């Protein structure tokens, strides 16, 4: 025969609810901090991808301009034409067309502005390129460069 202690009844409902309330008070701010950290991380990761796309596009066009003969460079309706290669915006992409083949080289392009600047003598002096980037959830970013033509 076992003898039971009648004074040991376990937890009361009030004690259980009080312990749950204390745990909730501790875990709620911790959960909010972790959630905010994840949101910030993914937002910045998308931000970096958008900026890398824009920088890659500018670098690609800048390198093409610098390595081309000035007589082979033309700008028509925000299209940069260098010999047989044409750079233009199609939707939210920057396209590179070589002959009959088109490839997208950058995404998230909201607008592309290409301006040709001539010297007083009518020679090509520089080209201004402005790219406005916009991701699905983020603000717009503007990248701008001026490429001065190397006379040969």
| pLDDT tens, residue by residue, 18-35 | 999 999 999 999 999 999
φ, ψ for residue 108, nearest 5 deg: 65, 25
Greatest mean pLDDT range, 84-93, 116-125, 143-152: 84-93
Whether 4 maps to a domain, the answer reads no
Selection from 51, 121, 145, 124 nearest residue 82 by Cα: 124
pLDDT at position 11: 79
The strands making up 73-76's β-sheet, listed across from edge to edge, are: 73-76, 79-82, 85-90, 93-98, 101-106
Q: Is the pLDDT of residue 8 over 70?
A: no
Whether 25 maps to a domain, the answer reads yes
| pLDDT tens, residue by residue, 31-47 | 999 999 998 898 888 88
Whether 121 maps to a domain, the answer reads yes
Whether 6 maps to a domain, the answer reads no
Written as six digits, the tokens of 32 are: 């909010």
Give the pTM. Answer: 0.75
Identify the band that residue 139 occupies on the pLDDT scale cut at 50, 70 and 90: confident
Whether 8 maps to a domain, the answer reads no
pLDDT at position 6: 57
Question: In terms of residue numbers, what domain contains 79?
Answer: 13-148
pLDDT at position 7: 63
Percent pLDDT > 70 in the chain is 92
Average pLDDT over residues 119-134: 90
The CA-based angle 74-148-94, given to 5 degrees, is 55
Whether 117 maps to a domain, the answer reads yes
Q: Is the pLDDT of residue 152 over 60?
A: no
Q: 19: burial class by Cβ within 10 Å (0-12, 13-18, 19+)? A: exposed
pLDDT at position 98: 93
Query: What's the CA gap between 21 and 36, in Å, rounded?
Result: 23
Q: 110: burial class by Cβ within 10 Å (0-12, 13-18, 19+)? A: middle
Query: What's the CA gap between 91 and 111, in Å, rounded?
Result: 9
Whether 3 maps to a domain, the answer reads no
Give how many domains the chain has, as a whole number.
Answer: 1
């Amino acid at each position: 025969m076992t003898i039971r202690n009648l004074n040991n009844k376990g937890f009361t409902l009030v004690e259980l609810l009080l312990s749950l309330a204390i745990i909730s008070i501790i875990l709620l701010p911790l959960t909010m901090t972790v959630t905010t950290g994840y949101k910030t991380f993914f937002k910045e990761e998308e931000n970096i991808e958008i900026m890398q796309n824009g920088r890659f596009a500018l670098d690609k066009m800048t390198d093409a301009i610098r390595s081309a003969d000035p007589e082979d460079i033309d700008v028509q309706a925000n299209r940069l034409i260098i010999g047989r290669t044409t750079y233009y915006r199609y939707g939210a992409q920057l396209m590179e067309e070589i002959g009959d083949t088109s490839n997208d080289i950058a995404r998230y392009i909201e607008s592309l502005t290409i301006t040709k600047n001539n010297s007083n003598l009518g020679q090509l002096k520089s080209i201004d390129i402005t790219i406005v980037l916009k991701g699905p959830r983020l603000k717009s970013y503007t990248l701008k460069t001026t490429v001065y033509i190397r006379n040969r």
